[in-house]
Structure 1
Amino acid sequence: NSIEYDPNFKLYITTNLSNPHYPPELCVKVNLLNFMATEDGLQDQMLGTVVTAENPDLEARRVALVQEDADNKKQLKELEDKILTLLKNAEGNILDDEVLINTLKDSKVTSNIIEEKVKEAMKTQDKIAKVRLGYVPVAFRAAQLFFCIADLNIVDPMYQYSLEWFINLFLMAIAKAPKGSNHDERVENLNETFTYVLYENVCRSLFAKDKLLFSFLLTIKILKGDNLLDPKLLRFFLQGSTSLEVRRPKPEGTDWLYDNAWLNLLGLSEMKPFNGVPPNLALEDAFVENLDFFKEVAETPDPEALLRKRYEDTYSLFERLCMLRALRPDMVVPAVQNFVGESRGNKFIEIPPFDLEACYADSNCATPLIFVLTPGADPMTELYKLADKLDMSRRMEAISLGQGQGPLAERAIEAAKDKGTWVCLQNCHLSVSWLPTLERICEDLSPDRVDANFRLWLTSEPSKHFPPFVLQNGVKMTNEPPKGLRANM
């Protein structure tokens, strides 16, 4: 059906999805504007953030110079326009036009003054640029890490984080990082502190099965940024050999080696440094000449130790991990754990203990706290303990969401916002139709309109319908039952 509309009519549609994908038939009907930050743009933003935190006077001077430069250019443009207008409207001999002559004289004086200001500003900007340059490694690391966590929602829809949350965490890490005896040490401390603070905060919102994956992604992202990782080797590690052609038959007497392992070995042998750069043999040739050794690698319960002993001086830690990926894919997970531990330190493979009080301390009255539920875990026990400790047990209302419970939850939240009490909405995943209302409520939360003691607690199983805004701006937590002897102790 045709619908008549005014020529001036405009329709703007926004989404909280960070990088949505729409079908082609929709894209041709609309103009898409993607405001997702790029890595270069975010690096520049983070550079301003860290310099402001470290040297606020310097950053304020830089901003003032940028504004001053814009004002000077505007003033010159106005003078040029005025002169052109006078020339256009001049009658007779322009040399007899006193207004024009005086304007030209004034513009010359003003232009000279502005040129002097610009020269001084350029000198100051050069000094500022040198200082800012010293913090580029910090901004670069921060931008890398943001895009590392931005991809986590591919793993689970509940793993979403906002840029505002990320920047607040960055500022907290800057304040927490040790000063150091010189600038280089300070930069190193900033990078290491923020990397671990981010790991710790993201880890508490991940399921146990995904925490090693996150540690690995973090490590890989940093190594790639430092140009210490070959992208081709990383692709091999993730996908294995993509060739379907066996260009060299498997050696006789190697029934202990799977056909797919031989195919991966051939694929790895085509990449540096496994392609036979002297004095080293190509990996496939080394395999043929050392069948006894590689048979032991294929059968031992600790193949990583054998590869380390023989190739520690020949191949890097990640290169040996790729060898293990080719020969013993069943042992990749423990090897990845060792890889992360050796590359970043053991604290990046140790799961931080669950600390609800710390999560509460990171929140405010406008920040929802979200328990992502797992089978066998009951976060309410921990929540009631915290409420008792903070003298809030009688000032907390728990509502289990379900059919028709939405209006009750809304009234409870409205009352709690004014009284400064707590509301816990349980099983949000069971009330999908009400979740847009929850998103609107969370968007309206503001510290200047809500009592400082108010807290909104939410529990939900993983759900693709959970509002992105709430996930990105809330404090997310998983509290799984402890596994293993060490965790239980």
Structure 2
Amino acid sequence: PTSEKPELFTKWRKTQEEVNAGMQRVKALEGEILARLSATPANLLEDSTLIEALSNTKKTWREVQDRLKVSHDVDAKLHSTFEDPQTVAERGSLLFFVMSSLSGISRMYHTSLSHLQRIFALAIDKAPFDAVSSKRLANIVDAFTLQAFQATSRGLLERHKPVFALLLAVRIQQAQGVISEEHLSCLLAGGGGLAIETVRRKPYNWVPDGAWLGCVNLFLRLAMFKDLPDSIQRYGDQWRFWFESECPEELTTPEITTSSKMTPLGMVLLLRAMR
């Protein structure tokens, strides 16, 4: 953090030193006053040294109060500066969790926290600088994610690289609130929890049972697919053309609902269900 806001830390240290020095002066003056009081005759007004010490103490105390106010302002700025990096810490935790989960595929993918720390140090150097704290932190998060992805991918077998990319993308979008538990359930299970005998009858024989169960599952779980079974029945020829094409993800789907457009996430879920 000191490398990100060196001027703020310098000012904070300076104000702390000034406050400490002022408090020591006040303490010394108070000791001097007490000593003078014990040695001063009954009429205190006749002791000019004591009166001067009292005046100096009052002046010094005001100076200390002014420095304390400055110190509190700097503390507040430091506090806000350290609150913002929570997003970086959260992304670091997410990256480490995903990277560590790869050991479930193969023990040779074991990683360590020190490895991630080295990646983070590199990301800070590579992230574009911005005087606006929020933008600087966003740059660090992006650079951190990219560096972690590239460093990890270099050590993976080709067949495992798409798995890592999917895991990372899903976890990031989960953290951002883009992907819900319902989305994830549909993505992982498809229509696996349903039986063809217990759901709405499929309208055409060209629709495989598994694909129909996937569609029904989307219909039951997600509002954006609430009209999917009706759409397949209504636009059967168009859906068959889409279903049998080599690259359906590049085509526009037949109309499912007029209330919303197909999103990239929706397309992934639809492909998972039907293909």
Which residue does the alignment assign to 2:241?
Answer: 296
Find the partner of 1:305 among 250, 254, 271.
250
1:321 counterpart residue number: 268
Aligned to 1:171: 121
TM-score by structure 1 length?
0.41
- Counterpart-to-counterpart distance in 1, 2:175 and 2:208: 35
Shift of 1:186: 1.8
1:194 equivalenced with 2:144 (yes/no): yes
What secondary structure sits across from 2:216 in the alignment?
helix
- 1:275/1:299 CA distance change after superposition, 3 Å: closer
CA root-mean-square deviation: 2.9
Amino acid at match of 1:290: Y
Q: Secondary structure at the match of 2:108?
A: coil
- 1:291 and 1:235 map into 2 onto residues whose CA distance is 27
Max Rg structure: 2
Give, in whole Å, the separation in 2 of the partners of 1:275 and 1:204.
38
CA contact (8 A) 2:215 2:229 kept: yes
Does the 8 A contact of 2:191 with 2:217 survive in 1?
A: yes
Q: What are the residue-to-residue correspondences of 1:73-472 with 2, within 5 Å?
A: 124-180=74-130, 182-246=132-196, 247-252=198-203, 254-276=204-226, 282-307=227-252, 314-328=261-275
Matching residue of 1:405? none
* 1:317–1:176 distance in 2 versus 1, CA, 3 Å: same
Contact 1:177 1:193 in 2 (8 A): yes
Which structure 1 segments of 5+ residues have no match?
A: 1-50, 66-115, 277-281, 329-489
Change (3 A) 1:120 1:178: closer
Aligned partners of 2:254 and 2:237: how far apart in 1?
15
- Counterpart AA for 1:54: E
Counterpart Cα distance in 2 of 1:251 and 1:303: 21
1:238-282: CA deviation from partner (whole Å, max 9, x where unpaired): 121243334434334x22111111111111101223353xxxxx2
Q: 1:290 to 1:122 in 2, by over 3 A?
A: same
The correspondence of residues 31-50 of structure 1 with structure 2, limited to 5 A, is none
User: Shift of the alpha carbon at 1:295?
Assistant: 0.9
d(CA) in 2 for partners of 1:192, 1:310: 36
Scaled by the length of structure 2, the TM-score of the pair is 0.70
Query: Larger strand proportion, structure 1 or 2?
Result: 1
Deviation at 1:120, TM superposition (A): 8.4
| Superposition deviation, residue 158 in structure 1 | 0.6
Check whether the contact 2:211–2:273 (CA below 8 A) recurs between aligned residues.
yes
Which letter does structure 2 place at the counterpart of 1:317?
P
- Hey, what does 1:387 align to over in structure 2? none
Identify the range of structure 1 (123-132 vs 163-172) with the bigger mean alpha-carbon deviation: 123-132
Q: 1:311 to 1:161 in 2, by over 3 A?
A: farther
Cα drift, residue 140 of structure 1:
2.0
Higher relative contact order (CA 8 A, sep 6+): 1
Unaligned runs of 5+ in 2: 17-64
Any idea what SS the aligned residue of 1:54 has?
A: coil
Q: Would you say how many aligned residue pairs link Structure 1 and Structure 2?
A: 220
Whichever residue aligns with residue 293 of structure 1, its letter is Q
Task: Look up the equivalent residue of 1:255 and give its one-letter code.
Answer: N
The CA distance in 2 between the partners of 1:308 and 1:167, in whole Å, is 44
